[in-house]
Amino acid sequence: MRHSSGIIVYRKRKDGRLEYLVGKPGCVGTNEYWSYFKGGIENGEDLRMAAVREFREETGVVLTKDEILSMVFIGTVRQNKKKLTSAFSLEKSDIDIAYCQSNIADNCSWPEIAEYAWKTYDELTDVTHPTHVSFYREIENTHGGTD
Q: What gap in Å lies between CA 79 and CA 47, rounded to an integer?
A: 16
**Strand, helix or coil for residue 88:** strand
Q: How far apart are the first and last CA of the chain?
A: 38
Strands 2-12 and 18-25 come out as antiparallel
The residue extents of the domains of the chain are 2-143
d(CA 114, CA 102): 8
E strand or H helix at 135 = helix 133-143
Annotation: CATH topology of 2-143: Nucleoside Triphosphate Pyrophosphohydrolase (3.90.79)
pLDDT (tens place) for every residue of the chain, 147 residues total: 899 999 999 999 999 999 999 999 877 656 689 999 999 999 999 999 999 999 999 999 999 999 999 999 999 999 889 999 999 999 999 999 999 999 887 767 778 898 999 999 999 999 999 999 999 999 999 997 555
DSSP 9-55: EEEE-TTS-EEEEEEEE-STTS----B-EEEEPPTT--HHHHHHHHH
